[in-house]
Amino acid sequence: MKKIEVKVSSTFELEKSVCNHGFFMMAPNRWIPSTKTLTRPLRLLPHHHHHSSNVTISISQPCSTSLSITLLDDRIISPSQQQEIMDQVKRMLRLSKEDEKQVKEFHRLHEEAAKRGFGRLFRNPSLFEDVVKSLLLCGCRFQRSLEMAKGLCKLQKWLGKKCKWGNFPSAQELANLESEELLRNKCKLGYRAGLVMCLAKAVADGEIKLLDYELDNMQLGDEESMFQKLKTIKGFGDFVTCNVLMCMGFYDRIPIDSETIRHIKQVIHQRKECQRKNIKAMVKEIYDKYAPFQTLAYWYVPPP
DNA sequence: GCTGTTCAAGCCTTGTCACC
DNA sequence: GGTGACAAGGCTTGAACAGC
Q: Each residue of A46-61: pLDDT tens digit? A: 776 667 789 999 999 9
Task: Report the alpha-carbon angle A225-A228-A233, nearest 5.
Answer: 135
Pick the CATH number of A127-248 from 1.10.150.120, 1.10.340.30, 1.10.10.10, 3.90.79.10: 1.10.340.30
> Which amino acid residue lies closest to nucleotide C13, measuring CA to C1'?
A139
Q: Do domains A3-97 and A127-248 have the same CATH topology?
A: no
| pLDDT in the model for residue A269 | 56
CA distance A214 to A229: 13
Lowest-confidence pick of A9-13, A31-35, A116-120: A9-13
Lowest-confidence pick of A6-15, A206-215, A274-283: A274-283
Whether residue A98 is predicted with pLDDT greater than 70 in this model: the reply is: yes
Separation in Å: B5 C1' and A25 CA: 34
Closest to A172 (Cα-Cα) out of A46, A10, A272, A5: A46
Give the closest nucleotide to A281 (alpha carbon vs C1'): B2
| pLDDT in the model for residue A224 | 76
Separation in Å: C11 C1' and A142 CA: 15
Q: Where are the domains of chain A?
A: 3-97, 127-248, 258-299
The CATH homologous superfamily for domain A3-97 is DNA-3-methyladenine glycosylase AlkA, N-terminal domain (3.30.310.20)
A280-285 CB contacts, 8 Å cutoff, 24+ apart: A280/A256, A283/A254, A283/A256
- The pLDDT > 90 percentage for chain A reads 30
Whether residue A95 is predicted with pLDDT greater than 90 in this model: the reply is: yes
Residues A14-46 have pLDDT tens digits of: 999 999 888 898 889 999 999 999 999 999 987
- Bases in strand C with any atom closer than 7 Å to a protein CB: 12-16
CA distance A277 to A263: 15
